[in-house]
Chain A
Amino acid sequence: MLRTLTLALLGAAGLGACQEKLASPAECPDLCPGNYDVRDTVLAPALGADSSFEGYVVAGQGSSLRVSWQFPASEDRAVFRFVARPDSFAIGDSIYPYTIDSVALGVTLLARDSTVKGLTIYLYRMPATVDSTVSFTDLDTAFTAANLVDSVVVPDSILTDDFQRMLTGANLARVAIPPGDSGVLALGVQIRANSGTGVRIGGSAGGLAAPTFVTYIQVDQTDTVVARTFTRAANFSRYVSQNPPVFDPDLLTVGGAPSARTILRFPWPDLLKDSAQLVRATLELIPTAPIPGLNGDTAFVQARPLLADLGSKSPASSDGLFFSAAPVTAGQTDTVRLEVRRALVLWQGDDPLPPAFLLQLVPEGSSFSRATFGSSRTPGFVPRLRVTYARKFPFEAP
């Protein structure tokens, strides 16, 4: 009998090893003690608590340069200047003269409107003295046939690429640097296409996309001739626009050059600060006009939580986890929506950040896009912060 009982228990142990469901289907309200309380609320910035500031990133300081021709959004010319090329070459302790064999000039196309065909990029010789005071007129008048260095016909199928032009022989005269320029070469960029359009090319801050100026030389030593190169990087770049947009302090502006940023402050109720669990938060920005831009070249409105509210110089979080971004496209009139729940979590707790965002455009100082949104002073276009939150579950309800 004892053996039988033991075997029976062992059998039951085996049965017990089977897996079964861990949750039971239930139907509310019968089997739902308590109830979830998830609510929506819409917050608008307090009147006057939202403002835009201009002058953060000037043209040319961004990662790319705007170049456009007969483009409704903007008419832009770009210029860059390279680090001076020495007039001799040092080998060991000795200085040798050199002769130029060839010169390679490189530009990188970063964005274009693929619907506009027949794109040609022109490189022009610019005065070596060009600097940040240069105006659109100054540059435009320098784009003459006499100053043309070379051109690049961009295949219609190419959206982005590096283009290099090699100058040899008689063409070297186009990039010859007179002694008075102290070895400095400056180039301007203009485009033409089948219709008005724009492109973005790499600027001096563009990293691998920055313009290049490589000189291939031959150095005459006493008993031999050696080939060497000078590679010069651009140490100045800028683009200028024919008709820069006028900054309107009553609107919320992001983008442009010099770039504008916006600080947006919201009243933040104690309920949301202390005890609500944020489920979703969407920042809604309503454009006051179609957003200018280049077809196919998407920019992004980025929202970052402020670390401290110090006005136009307020520092914002640099932790990408709390960034939010939404694309803006050329001609967009729809509301721009950014999911900002993670940032709003920083507005909660015992030591919250100020309930404010810093808005900016990415890429900043480079894009053709410049968005203007309604502010608290623009009836019908007031920004909104739509917050969905859960209140504490009533666990005590039996």
Chain B
Amino acid sequence: MPRLVRPLALVAAVALLLLDLAPVVAQSSMFGVRGLGLPGRPLTPRSRATGGSFGLFDGESNLNPAAMANLRSVSAGFVGSPTWRSWKSPAGDASLRETRFPLLFVGGPVPGSRLGLGVSIGSYADRDFRLATADTVILAGQPEAVFDTLSSLGGLSEIRFAAGLHLGDKTTIGAGVYWITGSSRMESRRAFEDTSFISFRQTAELSYEGAGLSVGLTHQLSPAVQLGLLLRSDGKAAVELDSAKAYNIDLPYTVSAGAQVRASPRLTVAASGLFRTWSSANSDLQAQGGIGAENTLELSVGGEFARSARRPTAFPIRAGLRYAQLPFPIRSGDQPREWSISAGTGTRFAQDRAGVDVALEHSWRSDGGPYKERALSLILGLSIRPYGPGGRQ
């Protein structure tokens, strides 16, 4: 019984932290105000800690379906991510925070087969914001000071059904089907300095729906080197305004490739690149009066150092570096970018039937002009393996 006290205290601390932050009004990135929002990163803390470079090889992350075949036991888990961020814009600075739950997954091997199956719910794009502006408008020929607030709560999620299959000992292939869905509950308020004009409020719900397909591959090039590849197409998202069809947005194709190298029994490093054709949405967004969208490239490197070769899951040290372009500019022609550094660790307990992983990620985002943002994200993951680490294989 005493052996359970510490793990339970740890789980309680994680839960307390998430509950503590969940009710707060969310404030996502300023670079998620336009377009569909800030693209989500439905990765496990292990992959986030390595800058995302482990994502193509991580069966619990919502990226490469081929990696499902590498799951050695049935596992389920969720990821919560409180983020503290500071904005710098011409209108002023702000310190904000939000809590997202970017990933929920269940998956594992099919007993007696070389197949791995999984279902996951992940964040596709995050569009939470509340913006306050002040202006002067002319009404009845007179200048009137106005104070506006525009808020959005919600975003897009993806529900993935994926399968991975071992082809021999070195290669896995996989395919995934995505249902992309979500909504943004939006509200605008305008207040007038002259109280003869009544403040008004309007609300609407934007809902999105689309579908996507992905295929993936992992290949053990040598005992130390593994390659990963992903191709994905997300088709179109149908946008409805208060249940009435509004327009469609072309969603991007995704191509990603990476390599993972086991440099020593205790050290694994990886590098990956990901390219998304977000410019396919450009004309659709501009047709609705938006700024538009641009293709994005993401590059990441990272590694994991096992402090114990005998128990590599016991508090390994993970670190990563990531560069990414963001698809939805605030100002036309100024594509925002971000740099991130990350680190993390984790452990398994209860005879390796449960695990906690933690990553800390610091990001710098800028559009090269007056809009800048720094964000500190704590990525917390809880996972369980009810049949043990090697069970039900």
User: Quick check: B13 and A30 within 8 Å, CB to CB?
Assistant: no
Expressed in whole angstroms, the minimum distance between the Cβ of A389 and any Cβ of chain B is 9
- A contact residues around B95 at 8 Å (CB): 20-21
Q: Which positions in B face A, CB cutoff 8 Å?
A: 6-7, 9-10, 13-14, 16-17, 20-21, 24-25, 27, 30, 33-36, 82, 87, 89-97, 129-133, 135, 137, 139-140, 146, 148-151, 186, 188, 190, 192, 196-198, 200, 202, 204, 206, 239, 241, 246-247, 249, 285, 288-290, 315, 328, 330-331, 345, 347, 349, 356, 358, 371, 378
Question: Which A residue sits closest to B330, measured CB to CB?
Answer: A30
CB contact under 8 A between A280 and B347, given known A2-B10, A10-B16, A395-B204 = no
CA distance A187 to B113 in the complex (A): 114
Q: Give A342's nearest chain B residue, CB to CB.
A: B198
Known A-B contacts A21-B95, A22-B27, A32-B150; the reply to A6 vs B132 at CB < 8 A is no
Give a binary string over A208-230; 1 marks a CB under 8 Å from any B CB, 0 the rest. 00000000000000000000000
Contact B241 A396 (CB under 8 A): yes
Q: Please state if B148 and A36 are interface contacts (CB–CB under 8 Å).
A: yes
Given contacts A5-B358, A30-B371, could you give 9 more A-B pairs where the C-beta distance is less than 8 Å?
A2-B6, A13-B16, A16-B21, A22-B27, A31-B89, A280-B196, A388-B197, A395-B186, A397-B289
Q: Once the chains bind, are B285 and A279 in contact (CB under 8 Å)?
A: no
Within 8 A of B (CB), among A378-395: 386, 388, 390, 392-395
B17 near A27 with CB under 8 A, answer no
Residue among B13, B20, B241 facing the most chain A CB atoms (10 A cut-off): B13
A3 at the interface (CB under 8 A from B): yes
**Does A95 make an interface contact (CB < 8 A)?**
no
**Taking CB as reference atom, which chain B residue is nearest A389?**
B200
Residue of B16, B345, B349, B371 most packed against chain A (CB within 10 A):
B16
CB-CB < 8 A to B94: which residues of A?
21, 23-25
Would you call B204 and A393 a contact (CB within 8 A)? yes
Give Cα distance in the complex from A396 to B82, angstroms: 28
Residues 345-384 of A, flagged 1 when their CB comes within 8 A of B and 0 if not, give 0000000000000000000000000000000000000000
**A173 CB-CB contact with B under 8 Å:** no
Inter-subunit contact A341/B198 (CB<8 Å): yes
Identify which of B96, B290, B349 contacts A20 (C-beta below 8 A): B96
Do residues B17 and A6 form an inter-chain contact, with CB atoms below 8 A? no
A34 near B188: Cβ-Cβ < 8 Å: yes
Interface size class of A (residues with CB under 8 A): 35 or more
> Which residues of chain A are within 8 angstroms of B90 by Cβ–Cβ distance?
27, 30
Whether the pair A24, B96 counts as a contact (CB closer than 8 A) is yes
Tell whether, in the assembled complex, residue A25 and residue B89 are in contact, meaning their CB atoms are under 8 Å apart: yes
Interface residue A9 (Cβ < 8 Å from any Cβ of B): yes
- How many residue-residue contacts, CB under 8 A, span A and B? 169
Please name all residues of chain A whose beta carbon is closer than 8 Å to the beta carbon of B206 when the two chains form the complex.
395-396
A118 proximal to B (CB < 8 A): no
Which residues on A sit within 8 Å (CB–CB) of B204? 393, 395-396
Please state if A23 and B89 are interface contacts (CB–CB under 8 Å). no
A398: chain B residues within 8 A (beta carbon): 34-36, 249, 285, 288-290, 328
A102 to B6, CA, bound (A): 100
Q: Are B87 and A280 in contact (CB under 8 A)?
A: no
Give the distance to chain A from B214, nearest Cβ to Cβ, in Å: 25
The 10 closest A-B pairs by CB, nearest first: A25-B92, A9-B13, A398-B290, A26-B131, A27-B91, A395-B204, A25-B91, A13-B17, A397-B289, A23-B132
Residues in B neighbouring A393, C-beta threshold 8 A? 188, 202, 204
**Which of these, A22, A31, A38, A40, contacts B190 with CB under 8 Å?**
A38
Q: Is A36's CB under 8 angstroms from B140's CB?
A: no
A9 adjacent to B17 (CB under 8 Å): yes
Query: Can you report 9 A-B residue pairs in the complex whose CB atoms are below 8 A from each other?
Result: A16-B17, A21-B96, A25-B92, A26-B91, A28-B133, A31-B133, A31-B330, A280-B196, A397-B289
Q: Is A339 an interface residue (CB 8 A)?
A: yes
Q: Which A residues lie within 8 Å of B330 (CB)?
A: 30-31
A33–B378 CB distance below 8 A: no
Complex contact A280–B21 (CB within 8 A): no
Write the A7-23 contact mask toward B (1 if CB under 8 angstroms, else 0). Answer: 00110110011001111
A397 contacts B290, C-beta separation under 8 Å: yes
Q: How far is the CA of A10 from the CA of B16 in the complex (A)?
A: 8
Output the nearest chain A residue to B132 by Cβ-Cβ distance: A23
Q: By CB atoms of chain B within 10 A, which of A10, A21, A34, A386 has the most?
A: A21
Q: Least Cβ distance of B56 to chain A in Å? A: 28
* Interface: A120 (CB within 8 A): no
How far, in Å, is A322 (CB) from chain B's closest CB?
A: 14
* Contact partner, B202, options A24, A25, A277, Cβ 8 Å: A277
Partner pick for B198 among A6, A22, A34, A279, CB 8 A cutoff: A279
> Which residue from chain B places its CB closest to the CB of A26 in the assembled complex?
B131
> Is the pair A36, B190 in contact by a Cβ cutoff of 8 Å?
yes
**CA A381 to CA B30, docked complex, whole Å:** 52
Q: Which residues of A contact B27 (CB under 8 A)?
A: 21-22, 24
Q: Please give the distance in Å from A43's CB to the nearest CB on chain B.
A: 13
How many Å lie between the Cα of A396 and that of B206 in the bound state? 7
